[in-house]
Amino acid sequence: DTWDGKPHAVHSTWFGILGEIGVPGFVTMMVLVACMWRMCLHSLKAAQAPEVDPRLKMSAVALLAGLASFCVSGTFLTQGTTWPLYVILALSVALDRALAPPDVEGEADFLPPPRPAPRAAVPRARTPPPPGDGGGREQGGQGEQGGHGS
């Protein structure tokens, strides 16, 4: 049999990536998937702490299961450039950041600078001094009548 000139699927994500973008693309894809595995396992370990919300624990398990199912089904289906892998990547990053301790060193590098306090749109009115502080406005004094005493 000879090739009929029509494109045919390789039925493997791994061979599909290798055939479409070569060895550099395949290595990049493998590094991406390996980093996702590492991040999902790290999130699953962090989610085991007793103070973590159970919904985050289930999310960690679900993301790891989703990544495992992508890797297994990717062996038999060409889906390297479809959206499920990238949704799992985005959710894995979000979960990893949600489970990270709040005082991670270097996190301040990614935070925006603090905003200055807003200025009042209307200038504040001066508040009168409290009675008896020597401000010249004691009862019976000239301050009540508007004179400038002397």
Using one digit for the tens of pLDDT, what is the confidence trace for 20-78? 899 999 999 999 999 999 999 999 999 999 999 999 999 999 999 999 999 999 888 88
Kindly tell me if the per-residue pLDDT of 104 is higher than 60. no
Q: What pLDDT, on the 0 to 100 scale, is given for residue 131?
A: 80
The reply to whether 15 falls in a domain is no
| Confidence at residue 4, expressed as pLDDT on a 0 to 100 scale | 83
Query: What's the rounded Cα separation, in Å, for the pair 43 and 56?
Result: 9
Query: What was the pLDDT predicted at 11?
Result: 83
Question: Measuring CA to CA, which residue among 19, 56, 22, 63 is closest to residue 39?
Answer: 63
Cα 96 from Cα 41, distance rounded (Å): 10
Evaluate whether residue 142 is within a structural domain.
no
In a domain? residue 66 = yes
Confidence of residue 122 (pLDDT cuts 50, 70, 90): low
Structural domain count of the chain: 1
Domain presence at residue 78: yes
Give residue-wise pLDDT tens across range 26-39.
999 999 999 999 99
Assess if residue 140 is contained within a domain.
no
Contact of 95 with 59, CB cutoff 8 Å: yes
CA distance 6 to 22: 21
Name the DSSP class of 121: S
Please report which confidence band the pLDDT of residue 110 belongs to, taking 50, 70 and 90 as the band edges: low
How confident is the model over 10-24, as a mean pLDDT? 89
Domain of residue 44: give its range.
29-102
**4 assigned to some structural domain:** no
- 42: in domain: yes
* pLDDT computed for residue 123 by the predictor: 63
Q: pLDDT band at 147, cuts 50/70/90? A: low
